[in-house]
Protein backbone atom coordinates (compact mmCIF):
# COMPACT_ATOMS: atom_id res chain seq x y z
CA UNK A 1 0.00 0.00 0.00
CA UNK A 2 1.21 3.55 -0.74
CA UNK A 3 0.73 5.64 2.40
CA UNK A 4 1.15 9.37 3.00
CA UNK A 5 2.36 10.24 6.50
CA UNK A 6 1.84 13.91 7.33
CA UNK A 7 4.18 15.10 10.06
CA UNK A 8 6.34 12.09 9.24
CA UNK A 9 9.54 13.81 10.35
CA UNK A 10 8.21 14.34 13.87
CA UNK A 11 8.58 12.27 17.01
CA UNK A 12 5.63 9.94 16.53
CA UNK A 13 5.37 10.33 12.77
CA UNK A 14 8.94 9.17 12.15
CA UNK A 15 8.25 5.94 14.05
CA UNK A 16 5.04 5.42 12.07
CA UNK A 17 7.12 5.80 8.89
CA UNK A 18 9.62 3.20 10.09
CA UNK A 19 6.86 0.76 11.03
CA UNK A 20 5.11 1.15 7.68
CA UNK A 21 8.31 0.61 5.74
CA UNK A 22 9.19 -2.36 7.93
CA UNK A 23 5.80 -3.87 7.05
CA UNK A 24 6.47 -3.50 3.32
CA UNK A 25 4.41 -0.38 2.56
CA UNK A 26 5.55 2.43 0.26
CA UNK A 27 5.72 5.68 2.22
CA UNK A 28 5.66 9.35 1.31
CA UNK A 29 6.34 11.90 4.07
CA UNK A 30 4.97 15.44 4.12
CA UNK A 31 6.35 17.68 6.87
CA UNK A 32 6.67 21.45 7.22
CA UNK A 33 9.73 21.13 9.51
CA UNK A 34 8.38 23.82 11.84
CA UNK A 35 11.18 25.47 13.89
CA UNK A 36 9.16 25.05 17.12
CA UNK A 37 9.50 21.28 16.66
CA UNK A 38 12.63 20.77 14.55
CA UNK A 39 15.59 22.75 15.83
CA UNK A 40 17.94 20.61 13.77
CA UNK A 41 17.40 18.73 10.52
CA UNK A 42 15.64 15.44 11.34
CA UNK A 43 16.73 12.07 10.04
CA UNK A 44 14.17 10.52 7.68
CA UNK A 45 14.06 6.84 6.77
CA UNK A 46 15.99 6.52 3.49
CA UNK A 47 13.28 4.26 2.05
CA UNK A 48 10.64 7.02 2.32
CA UNK A 49 9.99 9.75 -0.22
CA UNK A 50 10.26 13.07 1.60
CA UNK A 51 8.41 16.28 0.69
CA UNK A 52 8.92 19.50 2.64
CA UNK A 53 5.66 21.42 2.72
CA UNK A 54 2.77 22.64 4.83
CA UNK A 55 -0.43 20.65 5.13
CA UNK A 56 -2.35 23.94 5.03
CA UNK A 57 -1.26 24.54 1.42
CA UNK A 58 -3.70 23.08 -1.12
CA UNK A 59 -1.24 22.64 -3.99
CA UNK A 60 1.32 20.95 -1.73
CA UNK A 61 -1.26 18.52 -0.35
CA UNK A 62 -2.61 17.74 -3.83
CA UNK A 63 0.88 16.81 -4.98
CA UNK A 64 1.56 14.75 -1.86
CA UNK A 65 -1.60 12.67 -2.37
CA UNK A 66 -0.67 11.55 -5.87
CA UNK A 67 -0.98 7.76 -6.08
CA UNK A 68 -1.70 7.47 -2.35
CA UNK A 69 -4.17 4.85 -1.03
CA UNK A 70 -4.21 5.82 2.66
CA UNK A 71 -3.16 8.68 4.91
CA UNK A 72 -1.73 8.60 8.43
CA UNK A 73 -2.34 12.18 9.53
CA UNK A 74 0.19 12.91 12.28
CA UNK A 75 0.93 16.59 11.51
CA UNK A 76 -0.14 18.86 14.37
CA UNK A 77 0.95 21.37 16.95
CA UNK A 78 0.98 19.48 20.25
CA UNK A 79 1.17 20.18 23.98
CA UNK A 80 -0.48 22.93 26.00
CA UNK A 81 1.54 25.67 24.32
CA UNK A 82 2.52 28.91 26.04
CA UNK A 83 -0.69 30.96 26.32
CA UNK A 84 -3.82 31.90 24.37
CA UNK A 85 -1.71 33.76 21.83
CA UNK A 86 -0.97 30.25 20.52
CA UNK A 87 -4.64 29.75 19.62
CA UNK A 88 -4.40 30.93 15.98
CA UNK A 89 -1.35 28.78 15.18
CA UNK A 90 -2.96 25.70 16.77
CA UNK A 91 -6.19 26.24 14.84
CA UNK A 92 -4.24 26.81 11.62
CA UNK A 93 -1.94 23.81 11.75
CA UNK A 94 -4.37 21.38 13.36
CA UNK A 95 -7.80 22.29 12.03
CA UNK A 96 -7.26 24.24 8.82
CA UNK A 97 -4.53 21.77 7.85
CA UNK A 98 -6.87 18.83 8.47
CA UNK A 99 -9.64 20.51 6.46
CA UNK A 100 -7.31 21.13 3.50
CA UNK A 101 -6.10 17.52 3.63
CA UNK A 102 -9.58 16.01 3.84
CA UNK A 103 -10.92 18.16 1.01
CA UNK A 104 -8.02 17.04 -1.19
CA UNK A 105 -8.58 13.39 -0.22
CA UNK A 106 -12.24 13.75 -1.23
CA UNK A 107 -11.32 15.23 -4.61
CA UNK A 108 -8.78 12.47 -5.29
CA UNK A 109 -10.87 9.61 -3.95
CA UNK A 110 -8.35 8.65 -1.26
CA UNK A 111 -10.58 6.66 1.06
CA UNK A 112 -8.59 5.58 4.12
CA UNK A 113 -7.58 7.81 7.00
CA UNK A 114 -5.81 7.15 10.29
CA UNK A 115 -5.97 10.33 12.38
CA UNK A 116 -3.63 11.05 15.28
CA UNK A 117 -6.00 12.21 18.00
CA UNK A 118 -5.37 12.45 21.74
CA UNK A 119 -6.64 11.61 25.19
CA UNK A 120 -7.05 15.36 25.76
CA UNK A 121 -10.43 15.22 23.99
CA UNK A 122 -11.90 13.67 27.16
CA UNK A 123 -10.85 16.34 29.63
CA UNK A 124 -10.71 14.41 32.89
CA UNK A 125 -10.54 10.62 32.70
CA UNK A 126 -13.03 8.15 34.13
CA UNK A 127 -14.22 8.42 37.73
CA UNK A 128 -16.49 6.48 40.05
CA UNK A 129 -18.14 7.88 43.17
CA UNK A 130 -18.92 5.41 45.98
CA UNK A 131 -22.40 6.91 46.25
CA UNK A 132 -23.28 8.12 42.74
CA UNK A 133 -21.48 5.62 40.52
CA UNK A 134 -19.74 6.74 37.32
CA UNK A 135 -19.57 10.54 37.16
CA UNK A 136 -17.89 13.28 35.12
CA UNK A 137 -16.29 15.94 37.32
CA UNK A 138 -16.07 19.47 35.97
CA UNK A 139 -12.91 21.58 35.77
CA UNK A 140 -11.03 21.82 39.04
CA UNK A 141 -11.50 25.03 40.97
CA UNK A 142 -8.51 27.38 41.23
CA UNK A 143 -9.19 27.95 44.94
CA UNK A 144 -8.96 24.19 45.57
CA UNK A 145 -5.75 23.89 43.56
CA UNK A 146 -4.21 26.86 45.37
CA UNK A 147 -4.93 25.13 48.69
CA UNK A 148 -3.40 21.83 47.54
CA UNK A 149 -6.72 20.04 47.02
CA UNK A 150 -5.90 18.43 43.68
CA UNK A 151 -8.42 15.60 43.54
CA UNK A 152 -11.68 16.52 41.78
CA UNK A 153 -14.71 15.88 44.01
CA UNK A 154 -17.92 14.20 42.95
CA UNK A 155 -19.98 16.82 41.10
CA UNK A 156 -23.12 15.60 42.91
CA UNK A 157 -22.13 14.89 46.49
CA UNK A 158 -18.55 16.24 46.82
CA UNK A 159 -17.24 12.86 47.99
CA UNK A 160 -13.72 11.74 46.91
CA UNK A 161 -13.65 9.87 43.59
CA UNK A 162 -11.87 6.75 42.36
CA UNK A 163 -10.08 6.86 38.98
CA UNK A 164 -11.23 4.26 36.40
CA UNK A 165 -10.16 3.71 32.76
CA UNK A 166 -11.77 6.06 30.27
CA UNK A 167 -13.58 4.47 27.33
CA UNK A 168 -14.17 5.84 23.85
CA UNK A 169 -17.85 6.39 24.67
CA UNK A 170 -17.01 9.05 27.27
CA UNK A 171 -18.28 12.56 26.45
CA UNK A 172 -15.81 14.91 24.78
CA UNK A 173 -14.81 17.73 27.12
CA UNK A 174 -11.82 19.73 25.78
CA UNK A 175 -10.24 21.95 28.43
CA UNK A 176 -7.41 23.69 26.56
CA UNK A 177 -6.65 24.98 23.09
CA UNK A 178 -4.87 21.84 21.92
CA UNK A 179 -7.76 19.67 23.10
CA UNK A 180 -10.30 21.86 21.30
CA UNK A 181 -8.38 21.52 18.03
CA UNK A 182 -8.19 17.74 18.42
CA UNK A 183 -11.96 17.51 18.92
CA UNK A 184 -12.40 19.64 15.81
CA UNK A 185 -10.08 17.34 13.85
CA UNK A 186 -12.20 14.35 14.83
CA UNK A 187 -15.42 16.12 13.81
CA UNK A 188 -13.91 17.11 10.45
CA UNK A 189 -12.77 13.53 9.84
CA UNK A 190 -16.23 12.23 10.75
CA UNK A 191 -17.82 14.64 8.27
CA UNK A 192 -15.33 13.55 5.59
CA UNK A 193 -16.09 9.87 6.21
CA UNK A 194 -19.85 10.46 6.09
CA UNK A 195 -19.58 12.51 2.90
CA UNK A 196 -17.25 10.18 1.01
CA UNK A 197 -17.96 6.74 2.44
CA UNK A 198 -14.32 6.61 3.50
CA UNK A 199 -12.95 4.78 6.53
CA UNK A 200 -11.54 6.84 9.39
CA UNK A 201 -9.93 5.72 12.63
CA UNK A 202 -9.02 8.33 15.26
CA UNK A 203 -6.25 6.96 17.45
CA UNK A 204 -6.53 8.74 20.78
CA UNK A 205 -2.92 8.64 21.95
CA UNK A 206 -2.29 8.75 25.67
CA UNK A 207 1.08 9.90 27.11
CA UNK A 208 3.52 8.88 24.40
CA UNK A 209 7.25 8.69 25.16
CA UNK A 210 10.35 7.10 23.70
CA UNK A 211 13.27 7.67 21.30
CA UNK A 212 13.37 10.88 19.24
CA UNK A 213 11.33 12.98 21.64
CA UNK A 214 12.30 16.63 21.15
CA UNK A 215 14.29 18.47 23.76
CA UNK A 216 12.55 20.70 26.28
CA UNK A 217 10.19 23.10 24.48
CA UNK A 218 6.85 24.66 25.53
CA UNK A 219 5.22 22.03 23.29
CA UNK A 220 7.05 18.96 24.65
CA UNK A 221 5.49 16.15 26.65
CA UNK A 222 6.14 15.74 30.35
CA UNK A 223 8.54 12.81 29.89
CA UNK A 224 10.70 14.93 27.59
CA UNK A 225 10.61 17.87 29.99
CA UNK A 226 11.80 15.67 32.86
CA UNK A 227 14.44 13.99 30.71
CA UNK A 228 15.75 17.36 29.51
CA UNK A 229 16.05 18.59 33.09
CA UNK A 230 18.11 15.54 34.04
CA UNK A 231 20.39 16.08 31.06
CA UNK A 232 21.05 19.62 32.35
CA UNK A 233 21.86 18.23 35.78
CA UNK A 234 18.62 19.56 37.27
CA UNK A 235 15.89 17.69 39.16
CA UNK A 236 12.60 17.04 37.37
CA UNK A 237 10.03 19.53 38.68
CA UNK A 238 6.78 17.68 39.33
CA UNK A 239 3.57 19.67 39.43
CA UNK A 240 0.87 19.28 42.07
CA UNK A 241 1.77 16.44 44.47
CA UNK A 242 2.99 14.02 41.80
CA UNK A 243 -0.04 11.78 42.25
CA UNK A 244 -1.58 12.45 38.82
CA UNK A 245 -2.35 9.14 37.11
CA UNK A 246 -1.41 8.78 33.45
CA UNK A 247 -1.13 6.01 30.86
CA UNK A 248 2.43 6.15 29.50
CA UNK A 249 2.61 4.36 26.15
CA UNK A 250 5.84 3.73 24.24
CA UNK A 251 6.11 5.24 20.78
CA UNK A 252 6.88 1.83 19.26
CA UNK A 253 3.48 0.62 20.45
CA UNK A 254 1.85 3.75 19.00
CA UNK A 255 3.46 3.08 15.63
CA UNK A 256 2.21 -0.51 15.76
CA UNK A 257 -1.30 0.79 16.48
CA UNK A 258 -1.17 2.82 13.26
CA UNK A 259 -0.25 -0.33 11.34
CA UNK A 260 -3.12 -2.18 12.98
CA UNK A 261 -5.56 0.61 12.09
CA UNK A 262 -4.54 0.33 8.43
CA UNK A 263 -4.86 -3.46 8.43
CA UNK A 264 -8.30 -3.62 10.05
CA UNK A 265 -10.84 -1.80 7.88
CA UNK A 266 -13.77 -0.61 10.05
CA UNK A 267 -17.25 0.12 8.72
CA UNK A 268 -17.12 2.85 6.08
CA UNK A 269 -18.85 6.19 6.41
CA UNK A 270 -18.11 7.12 9.98
CA UNK A 271 -15.24 7.81 12.37
CA UNK A 272 -14.14 5.12 14.83
CA UNK A 273 -12.22 6.44 17.88
CA UNK A 274 -9.73 4.07 19.52
CA UNK A 275 -7.66 4.66 22.66
CA UNK A 276 -3.96 3.94 22.27
CA UNK A 277 -2.35 3.40 25.64
CA UNK A 278 -0.65 0.76 27.72
CA UNK A 279 -3.75 0.12 29.82
CA UNK A 280 -1.64 0.60 32.95
CA UNK A 281 -1.81 3.51 35.38
CA UNK A 282 1.33 5.14 36.77
CA UNK A 283 1.72 8.47 38.54
CA UNK A 284 3.69 11.36 37.13
CA UNK A 285 5.79 11.31 40.28
CA UNK A 286 6.61 7.63 39.77
CA UNK A 287 7.65 8.31 36.20
CA UNK A 288 9.95 11.12 37.33
CA UNK A 289 11.55 8.89 39.99
CA UNK A 290 12.17 6.03 37.55
CA UNK A 291 13.75 8.38 35.00
CA UNK A 292 15.93 10.08 37.62
CA UNK A 293 17.13 6.78 39.06
CA UNK A 294 17.91 5.27 35.65
CA UNK A 295 19.67 8.41 34.45
CA UNK A 296 21.63 8.77 37.67
CA UNK A 297 20.49 12.35 38.17
CA UNK A 298 19.00 14.36 41.04
CA UNK A 299 15.75 13.21 42.60
CA UNK A 300 12.52 14.87 41.49
CA UNK A 301 11.18 17.90 43.35
CA UNK A 302 7.47 18.18 44.08
CA UNK A 303 6.54 21.82 43.44
CA UNK A 304 2.87 22.02 44.35
CA UNK A 305 2.40 24.23 41.30
CA UNK A 306 -0.23 23.50 38.68
CA UNK A 307 -1.06 24.41 35.10
CA UNK A 308 -4.48 25.69 34.10
CA UNK A 309 -6.00 23.15 31.74
CA UNK A 310 -4.24 20.13 33.22
CA UNK A 311 -6.41 17.27 34.41
CA UNK A 312 -5.87 15.07 37.44
CA UNK A 313 -6.22 11.46 36.28
CA UNK A 314 -6.64 9.88 32.85
CA UNK A 315 -5.90 6.25 32.00
CA UNK A 316 -6.98 4.41 28.84
CA UNK A 317 -9.31 1.51 28.49
CA UNK A 318 -7.55 -0.59 25.85
CA UNK A 319 -10.48 -2.94 25.18
CA UNK A 320 -11.44 -1.46 21.82
CA UNK A 321 -7.84 -1.44 20.55
CA UNK A 322 -7.64 -5.13 21.41
CA UNK A 323 -11.08 -6.14 20.11
CA UNK A 324 -11.28 -4.00 16.97
CA UNK A 325 -7.66 -3.62 15.90
CA UNK A 326 -6.09 -6.69 17.48
CA UNK A 327 -3.57 -4.36 19.10
CA UNK A 328 -1.91 -4.71 22.50
CA UNK A 329 0.94 -2.67 23.94
CA UNK A 330 4.10 -4.74 24.36
CA UNK A 331 6.66 -2.35 25.91
CA UNK A 332 6.42 -2.35 29.70
CA UNK A 333 6.63 0.84 31.75
CA UNK A 334 9.84 -0.15 33.49
CA UNK A 335 11.78 -1.28 30.42
CA UNK A 336 10.53 1.63 28.31
CA UNK A 337 11.33 4.33 30.86
CA UNK A 338 14.78 2.95 31.67
CA UNK A 339 15.65 2.85 27.97
CA UNK A 340 14.26 6.37 27.50
CA UNK A 341 16.39 7.67 30.35
CA UNK A 342 19.51 6.53 28.51
CA UNK A 343 18.47 7.56 24.96
CA UNK A 344 19.72 10.89 23.59
CA UNK A 345 16.95 13.43 22.96
CA UNK A 346 16.40 14.88 19.52
CA UNK A 347 17.98 18.31 19.10
Active site residues: 178
Estimate to the nearest angstrom the gap between the alpha carbon of 341 and the chain centroid: 20
Separation between Cα atoms, residue 98 and residue 32, nearest integer Å: 14
Q: Cβ neighbours of residue 216 under 8 Å, at least 6 residues apart? A: 224, 225, 228, 229
Q: Nearest 5°: phi and psi at 335?
A: -70, -40
Q: Nearest 5°: phi and psi at 240?
A: 55, -135
Please, are residues 96 and 185 in contact by the beta-carbon 8 Å criterion?
no
Q: H or E segment at 126?
A: strand 126-129
Ramachandran region, residue 267 (left: φ > 0; alpha: ψ -120 to 50; beta: rest): beta
Q: Nearest 5°: phi and psi at 135?
A: -135, 165
Which residue in 123, 312, 93, 314 sits closest to 219, CA to CA? Answer: 93
Separation between Cα atoms, residue 277 and residue 63, nearest integer Å: 34
DSSP state, 94? I
Separation between Cα atoms, residue 321 and residue 126, nearest integer Å: 17
Q: Cβ neighbours of residue 319 under 8 Å, at least 6 residues apart? A: 167
Helices (H), 197-304: 222-231, 251-263, 284-295
Amino acid sequence: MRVLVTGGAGFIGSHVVDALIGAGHTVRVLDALLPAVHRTKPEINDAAEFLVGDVTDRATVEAALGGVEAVCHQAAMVGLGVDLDDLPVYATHNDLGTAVLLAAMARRGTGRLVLASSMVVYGEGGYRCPADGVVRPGPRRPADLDSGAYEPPCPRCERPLHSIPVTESAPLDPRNVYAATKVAQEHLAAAWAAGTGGTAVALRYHNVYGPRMPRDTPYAGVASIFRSALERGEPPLVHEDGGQLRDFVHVHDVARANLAALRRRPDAGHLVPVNVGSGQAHTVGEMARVLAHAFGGPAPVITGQYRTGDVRHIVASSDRARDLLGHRATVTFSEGMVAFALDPLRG
